[in-house]
Amino acid sequence: MATTPETESLLDCWPRFALSLKSEHRSPKTVTTYHEAVKQFSTWLEENGRSTAVGELKRADIEGFISAILAKSKPATAASRYRSLHRFFAWLLDEEEIAASPMLKTHPPKVELDPPPVLTEAQLVRLLRACEGPRFLDRRDMALVRTLLDTGCRLGEVVNMAVTDIDKDYGVLHVVGKGRRPRAAPIGPKTGIAISRYLKARRTNPRADSPRLWLGQKGPMTNSGVFLAVQHRGELAGLGHIHPHQFRHTFAHRWQLNEGNETDLMMLLGWRSRGMLNRYAASAGAERAAESHRKMALGDL
């Protein structure tokens, strides 16, 4: 029997969908996330004796798979799989490879707002003090930590910064975000001074001719290199295990706490959806409520 688009399996269709994602400049991480969802769904269908042909899938297949994910993983994981499959079947529908999407009338898993881990002002002061010193690594890590904190940039965005991404007045860093979308990341005077001091120390590095901004002893820093540098400074500050993405959390949390404009926050962090705003609004709201409670001392009668 001849193969028609609707009788192709999920994995048969994957290479074309992956090509479509890459043509949209989706990041490798995003492509991997979609691939994991399609593979996991295909495996679940086979294990449960169901067809993997894209034209034969039903709403019950989607709901059964998501229920299975929820039984073993966090709701956020199930929600990620749901979004990936929703995008996959929307693409199949656009390509006219299926007559109807099995996602129709399905609902994404409910994910409770989980305030992200943020660093307190006292912790930030201790961390910055732990970066002080005249050595190359001290200068670099001070500039690195201040850049992460002051811009809220993603780890990959910081790692890929070039020396030429700094404007001549050190007032803005030029960032290439998800989907290769450029944006400006303003920095304050203290971050500018820290970067200026780092650039002076950077001239003594054996790899100073590298176009990449952040250097280790053996060459440009990688994601793991920045992760380890931040972790080391956190340990010196007595903060235990901290990671680069906490600075992004902290940036968004402090912005919301100070009632900064939400549209500006989206632009600064490179968000295209307002979904993340709710998470940080909940985090900042909880802190404001706690502070109000301390001031009112309602139980101190």
pLDDT beyond 70 at 4: no
**Binning pLDDT at 50, 70 and 90, where does residue 17 land?**
very high
How are beta strands 172-176 and 182-186 bridged, if at all? antiparallel
Which has the higher per-residue pLDDT, 127 or 112? 127
Contact predicate 251/269, CB 8 Å: yes
Tokens 């811009």: give the residue.
151
Q: Output the pLDDT for position 265.
A: 76
pLDDT tens digits, 55-109? 999 999 999 999 999 999 988 899 999 999 999 999 999 999 999 999 999 999 9
Secondary structure letter of residue 237 according to DSSP: T
How many other C-beta atoms are found inside a 10 Å radius of the C-beta of residue 112? 7
**Binning pLDDT at 50, 70 and 90, where does residue 287 land?**
low
How many other C-beta atoms are found inside a 10 Å radius of the C-beta of residue 261? 10
Q: Output the pLDDT for position 260.
A: 79
Non-local (6+) Cβ contacts of 150 within 8 A are: 187, 188, 190, 191, 251
Q: At what angle do helices 59-72 and 28-47 cross, to 10 degrees?
A: 100
Mean pLDDT to the nearest integer, 3-14: 82
pLDDT beyond 50 at 292: no
Helix then strand count (H, E) for the chain reads 12, 2
- Residue 244 CA to residue 226 CA, distance in Å, equals 8
pTM exceeds 0.75, yes or no: no
Mean pLDDT to the nearest integer, 236-246: 92
Q: Output the pLDDT for position 225.
A: 95
Q: Output the pLDDT for position 301.
A: 44
Secondary structure letter of residue 41 according to DSSP: H
Q: What is the mean pLDDT of the chain?
A: 87
Q: At what angle do helices 28-47 and 10-23 cross, to 10 degrees?
A: 170
pLDDT tens digits, 220-233? 999 999 999 999 99
pLDDT tens digits, 161-195? 999 999 877 688 998 877 777 888 889 999 999 99
β strands within 172-225, DSSP E: 172-176, 182-186
CA distances from 88 to 10, 37, 132, 206, 257 (A): 9, 9, 49, 47, 37
Which has the higher per-residue pLDDT, 273 or 103? 103
Q: Output the pLDDT for position 161.
A: 95
**Binning pLDDT at 50, 70 and 90, where does residue 293 land?**
very low
Q: Output the pLDDT for position 128.
A: 97
**Binning pLDDT at 50, 70 and 90, where does residue 279 land?**
low
pLDDT tens digits, 30-44? 899 999 999 999 999
Of the candidate ranges 139-143, 157-161, 200-204, 246-250, the one whose mean pLDDT is the lowest = 246-250
Q: Output the pLDDT for position 6.
A: 66
β strands within the chain, DSSP E: 172-176, 182-186
Residue from 148, 151, 116, 171 nearest 267 by CA:
151
CA distances from 189 to 47, 184, 206 (A): 58, 16, 28
Element (H, E) at 296: helix 275-296
Q: Residue 208: phi, psi to the nearest 5?
A: -60, -20
pLDDT beyond 90 at 201: yes
pLDDT beyond 50 at 20: yes
Q: Output the pLDDT for position 252.
A: 85
- Residue 78 CA to residue 69 CA, distance in Å, equals 6
CA distances from 254 to 56, 172, 250, 286 (A): 49, 20, 6, 12
Q: Residue 164: phi, psi to the nearest 5?
A: -75, -5
